[in-house]
Structure formats: structure tokens, C-alpha cells
Structure 1
Amino acid sequence: MNLRQLEYFVAVAEERKITTAAKRLNITQPPLSYEVSALEKELGVKLFVRRPRGVDLTDAGRVLYARATTILGLTESAAREVADVGLGREGTLAIGIISSSGGQVPNDRMRALAKDYPRVSLVLNEGNT
């Protein structure tokens, strides 16, 4: 089971039609059907009941749908968090200051930084020159 298969499965489960799900995913119907069948074969269960006008989830399909949406959500969240850290929008910024800068810290720029980047922690370390 891989993330692409889970994305395909979720699209079919939500659209309830393979052709509509294929359009949503910007792929053709045969590879989508193949991946869904491969997922069913790997898991050893039927995930959908095929009907003349679409598909319905089986009990196993409903369980997988709940897990798959959680997994895909966590994957998106992890990618976003990693990108935010890499771009400096999340993490810790440590600044060294001297005791005589007491009237200058915190200043308007630090307040603006805290407002614009709420997931960046600002740590001030006071030391001697």
C-alpha cells in the first residue's frame, strides 16, 4: 500500500464513480481501476461494491477510508511543517544580547516578527561582552 493508492482510493470513495474520480485526479480510468484492484488484492478484501451506476464502500472500505483520510492529512501536514521549518517560518530564533540593551529589547521589529511568524519562538540569551 502506498500513498498514491490511498489518494486514488479516497477519490473513488468520495466521488462514488471511477470515471469521476479519474477526472478529479487528472488521470485516465484504466490506471485508477488497476491501482484500486491492486490495493484490494494486497489487502485481501473488496473495498467497493461495484454497481451499474457507481461504487459503494464495503465495511472494510469504510475502515480504510477513515484511516486513509487521516494518513493523507498527516502527510500533508508533515510536508507543510517541514517546508515551514526549512523556510524559517517555524522553529526557534536565538538572539544574544548584552545587559545594557535592556531598553532596546524587545523592540518593534521583534514584535512584528512574533506577529508575522507565530510558530517561531524567540529566545533571548543575555551575556557579557
Structure 2
Amino acid sequence: MKTIKKVMLIDDDQINNFVCENIIKNENFAEQVVSFEWAEDALSYLQDQAQKPDQAFPELIFLDINMPGMDGWQFIKEYKKLPEHLTSHCCLFMLSSAVDRKDIITAKNMLEVKEFFSKPLSSEILNIIKEEYI
């Protein structure tokens, strides 16, 4: 398995981000974890990274759906505008507590979304990602 250099978390729940960061670090899943509570801030970060060829673009993003301001769907709409040579090497996963079947189906039908996972993030989810996507 290759080593993930950078994982991005986008979730308005600060505690969830903290827990996810710890799970990712404890599992030695990635070298670096960056987290954002606002999707707008995450998008700005990605746009900035895209302008700097020496900066590592995240290889994996965990995205929540329901957030204030820009939600997960709006984020994906803007994410699609980023350079394809960067996004094509990034796996985007929905990580949400949403139980609306429509959200799950919508996520699974989006080319940008590799998989929909229900919170909380776990070692089992990371193992699935390692086995199927990395």
C-alpha cells in the first residue's frame, strides 16, 4: 500500500474533526491531516494549493454533507472546477451522519465521490479505503 501524504477533513463539527484526526494518526493512515470546519475555507485552501506546484494537494478528502454556509453538495460543485490533473489523484469520500436515502444515492451517483460512509470514522472504514482505493 502506498503512503497517503495528505488527508483533508471538511466537517463543521470540531469534535468530529479532532476524533477523525486522531484515528487517522493512530492508524498511520496519512503523513498529514488538515481539517476545516467551513467548506469555503477548505475550497480556498485547495485553490491556493492548486496554484503552488510545490505544495501537496490532498490525496484523500472526507466531506460532510450538512454544514452551515456552503454544504457538501455546493463544495463538490466548486471542487469540479479545480484542475483535473490534481483532482484526478484525489479520492473524495462523503463522511456524514445524514440518514436521508436520497443523499446516499446522490453521493453514490456522483463521479467525484468514491464512496459514502456513515459517521463516525473508524479503523474499519480506513481499512476499506486501503483495500479498495489505495
Which TM-score band (shorter chain)?
under 0.3
Could you tell me the TM-score, scaled by structure 1's length?
0.24
Point out which structure has higher relative CO (alpha carbons under 8 A, 6+ apart).
Answer: 2
Could you tell me the TM-score, scaled by structure 2's length?
0.24
